Amino acid sequence: MLGNTFGRVFQVTTCGESYGWSAKEGEQSYGGALFCIVNGVPPGIKLDVAKIQVELDKRRPGQSKLDSPRKETDRVEIVSGLFESVTTGAPVGLLIRNVDTKDVHIDQYRQVKEVIRPGHAEVNFFYKYGEHADWCGAGRASGRETVGRVAGGAVAKQILSREGVEILAHVIESNGIKGRSISEGTMTFEQMKPNYRTNDLNCCDTEAAPKMIDDLLKVADAGDTAGGTIEIIARGVPAGLGEPVFDKLKATIAHGLCSIGAMTGLQFGAGFAASSTLGSEWNDQPFLQDGKVRFRTNRCGGFLGGMSNGEDLVMSMSVKPTPTLSKDQDTVDMLAMKEKKLVAITRRDITICPRIYPVAEAMVAIAVTDALFMAHGWYGLAHLDAKWTSLTAARNKGEYTV
Ligand SMILES: Cc1cc2nc3c(=O)[nH]c(=O)nc-3n(C[C@H](O)[C@H](O)[C@H](O)COP(=O)(O)O)c2cc1C
């Protein structure tokens, strides 16, 4: 399997499956682990394991009626790259074991191992890996794969917090019920932040959140699942990050976000509204504040020429309804090549939204950290006149110098 590393200079590599197959002293058993290697962590950082755990806990299943009832502890062990709690500059290795891998659930997957789950990735795993495709809990296509991303993103977040960058995401729509959002200009970051993670869905519109949750519980009772939209904000990102052509920051963030399972669409700033807006209404008007260029509005979502412009980066991402249903569905047996019924499967998320937002935060954190590494390399060699580098202000951060 190729493509398990994200990032060009600051790199996160992950491995591990939903269940996994671990070898234990001669015998073999289920209960593997997720593993993440982070390359490029600067030396001398006092990595806060508790903060990495907070990020993993945001994503952990079994926390509310909206999540899969799978009971994983998701405890992180840092197994390399640290000495006396401080990073040495060597690769940081993070291990998270699968603990809820009971025979009853493995048998449930064994009974349907030849069939493809509608909406899930199995069909392409048969095409790519034949009879060796991992049939237990979707293997690398499981939502569990994202544990490694969140662990790597949590390391990136600690590097970013030293640079004054903060990344938060929240749910702005669930099953057609809309909440207020920064992309639509109906909420500000200051209004969003105090309500971050104050309800099971992590919807920061406190009026819309209970309506969304009531609706989702009805969806669950009917054996069904629901889709939604999340919004991600990165504040404090300095201007000028990203390269002007193929490696736009916008493009690398899109790469990170589009690589997450179950995402179906991506918007930057007010994005799709551009199709019904005049240029005179669309353009964000620049002005000077304390000698720095700022913009009165942020319809472009903080990207101009694909590079950051110093304003908040704002992305929104639609998320499909969870493919696994507690309802029978039509399918195909890939070995017998016969049509059949897939019976209801019980363990699944009613909505992926409250599970996916920490993954999205992680992917944006890794992409921004990588872009910062590239920028420091560039500015270190370009020797630009200080008049230009001192102009690259980041929102709320003041001056950014490299
Ligand atoms: C955090 C997270 C949790 C997920 N939970 C489930 C789940 O419980 N059941 C399920 O069928 N799919 C779940 N998925 C979605 C599948 O992983 C995804 O739909 C599948 O890999 C197919 O990929 P695609 O949707 O990008 O085509 C989850 C995804 C994420 C990111």
Q: Is any ligand 1 atom within 6 A of the Cβ of residue 261?
A: yes
What are the mean pLDDT values of the chain's consecutive 10-residue runs (402 residues total)?
Answer: 96 92 68 93 94 93 81 90 94 92 81 90 92 85 95 97 94 98 96 96 97 96 96 94 96 98 98 96 92 91 96 97 92 94 81 97 98 90 78 52 36
Per DSSP, the chain holds a count of helices (H) and strands (E) of 10, 20
Distance 92 CA to ligand 1 centre (A): 27
260 C-beta closer than 6 A to ligand 1: yes
DSSP state of 62: S
CA of 261 to the centre of ligand 1 (A): 5
DSSP letter assigned to residue 395: T
In what helix (H) or strand (E) does residue 208 lie, and over which residues does it extend? Answer: helix 208-221
The token duo for 62 is: 């079994």
C-alpha span between 105 and 108 (Å, rounded): 5
Q: Ligand 1 center to residue 142 CA distance, Å?
A: 6
Nearest CA to ligand 1 atom 8: 348
Beta strands in 49-161 (DSSP E): 76-80, 82-83, 86-87, 92-97
What is the β-pairing status of strands 313-319 and 228-235?
antiparallel
Q: Which of 140, 161, 129, 136 is nearest to 55 (CA)?
A: 161
Tokens of 207: 């009026």
Q: What pLDDT sits at residue 89?
A: 96
CA dihedral (273, 277, 279, 285) in degrees, to 10, reads -60
Rounded distance between C-alpha atoms, residue 400 and residue 402, angstroms: 7
What are the residue ranges of helices labelled H in 259-398?
279-282, 353-382, 386-389
Predicted TM-score of the model (pTM): 0.95
Amino acid at 340: K
How far is it, in rounded angstroms, from Cα 157 to Cα 63?
Answer: 23
Ligand 1 centroid to residue 262 C-alpha, Å: 5
List domains and CATH numbers for the chain.
Answer: 5-389 (3.60.150.10)
- From the CA of 121, give the closest atom in ligand 1: 22
